[in-house]
Amino acid sequence: MTQADNRRSWIASANGHPDFPLQNLPLGVFSPPGASPRGGVAIGDAIFDLKAASDAGLFSGDAAEAALAASGDDLNALFALGAGPRRALREQLQELLGEGSPAQARLEAMGQALLPSMASCTLHLPARIGDYTDFYVGIHHANNVGRLFRPDNPLLPNYKHVPIGYHGRASTVVVSGTEVRRPNGQTLAPGAETPSFGPSKRLDYELELGIWIGQGNAMGESIAIGEAERHVAGYCLLNDWSARDVQAWEYQPLGPFLAKNFATTVSPWVITAEALEPFRKAQPPRPEGDPQPLPYLLDDRDQAGGAFDIQLEVLLQSAAMREQGLPPMRLALSNTLNMYWTVAQMVAHHSVGGCKLQPGDLFGSGTLSGQQPEAFGSLLESTFGGKQPLSLPSGEERTFLADGDEVILRARCLREGHPSIGFGECRGTILPAR
């Protein structure tokens, strides 16, 4: 059992903070007021400036190397260093920022130059994304969507043998808070013989876990399942916006294309594996009769602790709700334990044919719905294909997203005796099509 870490920080806002206590210390890229983007660490309501700290010589050894690598406008160089320097940086940060730190007076004297308030800063994408792959490891989502199209055979035969995925578009991955333009595309109306072109009428969100790749592999070589987690730099929230009507027309025979490539939103903070260690779980056992993974996808240690207990939440606030002063409405509460495949299995499978993974590559888990309607991670599921509208507090109804709707994803790890660890928010507001 993981020993509870209840250390406190001399930064008062970090103590009891629902997302960013001393036990989290997620990495990101931010711009202080009037300054260029650089790496930082969220701590309470502030951001610890890694460039300023590196320039001031606050770190030593591997931690100094890590802080220097994070001083630019992306974290790719830091990701490339691997887990050792990242852990060294975390340990020295906890010493510097912990209650009773010998460096407290010096750090306090540096003031806003070292610890600007988060509210005063601009947050950016944490890494330069070379490639983006979206998986389909949420089995309840796969079953729910399959039933809409194939009631008698919702899961295709390969689902329980191989982690399904497709390559997405890295150029349109955007950071939380970026507005999302409703896409135009071809759709085929029910009963029609020819498609029409225009704005998507069935725009949707998808609740996903994002996985940032750290050290990669050489082309032609694979990453063994037992080594896979060493190649993960951290985690975030991911909203895979989806135009369902465009998707229904285009997806056969090669899968998603324009229905998904117009925008993908990620939260700005990279939550490290070290912060999530207390919230590891055994991978939920497969139902009786399901096939065991092939040997390259099966590792005893991964099965015993390769899953995470992360609470996932979707909220929606329409334009009318904002005008009426109504808070966002929760649409779903799910959990990453709904993943049929582990992160390590995703990494091992992605590389098994010799695909070259690189620092800053991004994976999406696929929609992580639960078994019950209150845990469905997309409107396609929650409204049963648009047949059962959801009622909003403003008196409006939704089958799919309307212009002006803001979708908010949140994630939090909760365990008795341990501080709460949060991911921050992943937000996006829908703009009308051009």
Residue 367, annotated as binding a ligand: yes
How high is the pLDDT of residue 126? Answer: 98
Residue 240 assigned ligand-binding role: yes
- pTM, full prediction: 0.97
Please tell me the distance from the alpha carbon of residue 173 to that of residue 163, in angstroms, as a whole number: 22
Check whether residue 75 and residue 222 sit in a common domain. Answer: no
Q: Domain check: are 240 and 345 in the same one? A: yes
Q: Report the C-alpha gap between 177 and 103 in whole angstroms.
A: 35
The whole-number average pLDDT for the span 160-165 is: 97
CA-wise closest residue to 164 among 370, 364, 338? 364
- Work out the pLDDT band at 343, boundaries 50, 70, 90: very high
Of residues 46, 39, 52, 49, the one with CA closest to residue 21: 46
206 annotated to bind ligand: yes
Q: Which CATH number characterizes residue 109's domain?
A: 2.30.30.230
The answer to whether 142 and 158 have CB atoms below 8 angstroms apart is no
The residue range of the domain holding 395 is: 132-431
DSSP β-ladder status, 196-199 and 232-239: unpaired
Last residue of a domain, one of 101, 124, 147: 124
Model confidence pLDDT, tens digit, residues 362-373 = 999 999 999 999
Residue whose token pair is 């931010």: 30
- Note whether 89 and 234 are same-domain residues: no
pLDDT band with cut points at 50, 70 and 90 for residue 1: very low
In this predicted structure, the answer to whether residue 309 has a pLDDT above a threshold of 70 is: yes
* 164 and 21 in a common domain: no
Residue 427 lies in a domain: yes
Cα–Cα distance list, 327 to 105, 316, 320, 423 (Å): 40, 9, 11, 20
Residue-level pLDDT at 315: 98
**229 and 326 both lie in a single domain:** yes
181 pLDDT more than 50: yes
Q: Is residue 399 in a domain?
A: yes
Ranking 2-11, 220-229, 332-341 by mean pLDDT, the lowest is 2-11
150 is in an annotated binding site: yes
Residue 2: pLDDT band by 50, 70, 90 thresholds? low
Residue 6 placed within a domain: no
Q: Are residues 40 and 159 in the same domain?
A: no
- Tell me, what's the pLDDT at 152? 81
Report the alpha-carbon distance of residue 183 to residue 144 in Å, rounded.
Answer: 25
Q: Domain check: are 17 and 166 in the same one?
A: no
Mean predicted confidence (pLDDT) in 354-382: 98
Q: Which of 430, 44, 424, 61 is nearest to 234 (CA)?
A: 424
pLDDT one-digit tens code per residue, 239-281: 999 999 999 999 889 889 999 999 999 999 999 999 999 999 9
Residue 6: half-sphere exposure toward Cβ, Cα within 13 Å: 6
- Quick check: is 387 in a domain? yes
Mean pLDDT across the chain, nearest whole number?
96
The residue annotated as part of the active site, out of 17, 124, 140, 141, is 141
- Residue 153 within any structural domain of the chain: yes
Integer Cα distance of 113 and 111 in angstroms: 5
Chain segment 110-157, per-residue pLDDT in tens: 999 999 999 999 999 999 999 999 999 999 999 999 888 788 888 988
Collect all residues with Cβ–Cβ distance below 8 Å to 319 and sequence separation of at least 6: 402, 403, 404, 405
The yes-or-no verdict on residue 433 having pLDDT over 50 is yes
Q: Active site includes 141?
A: yes
Report whether 370 contacts 381 (CB < 8 A): no
- Decide which of 89, 124, 159 is a domain's last residue: 124
Counting residues of the chain whose pLDDT is more than 70, the rounded percentage is: 99
Coil, strand, or helix at residue 178?
Answer: coil
Q: Is 191 exposed, middle or buried (0-12, 13-18, 19+ CB in 10 A)?
A: exposed
The verdict on 67 and 155 lying in the same domain is no
Q: Is 303 annotated as a binding residue?
A: no
Residue 290 and residue 232 share a domain? yes
By C-alpha distance, which of 157, 147, 39, 165 is closest to 93? 39
On whether residue 407 sits in a domain, the answer given is yes
The predicted structure's pLDDT at residue 303: 97
Is 74 in the same domain as 144? Answer: no
Domain shared by 86 and 145, yes or no? no
Q: Confirm whether residue 106 is marked as ligand binding.
A: no
The pLDDT value given to residue 96: 98
Final residue of a structural domain among 124, 143, 174: 124
Q: Is residue 66 within a helix (H) or strand (E), and if so which, with residue range? A: helix 61-69
CATH code for position 273: 3.90.850.10
Which of 248-257, 311-320, 342-351 shows the lowest per-residue confidence on average (mean pLDDT)? 248-257
Q: Tell me if 416 is assigned to some domain.
A: yes
Q: How many domains does the chain have?
A: 2
CA distance 345 to 302: 9
Which of 275, 264, 199 minimizes the C-alpha distance to 5? 275
pLDDT at 4 over 80: no
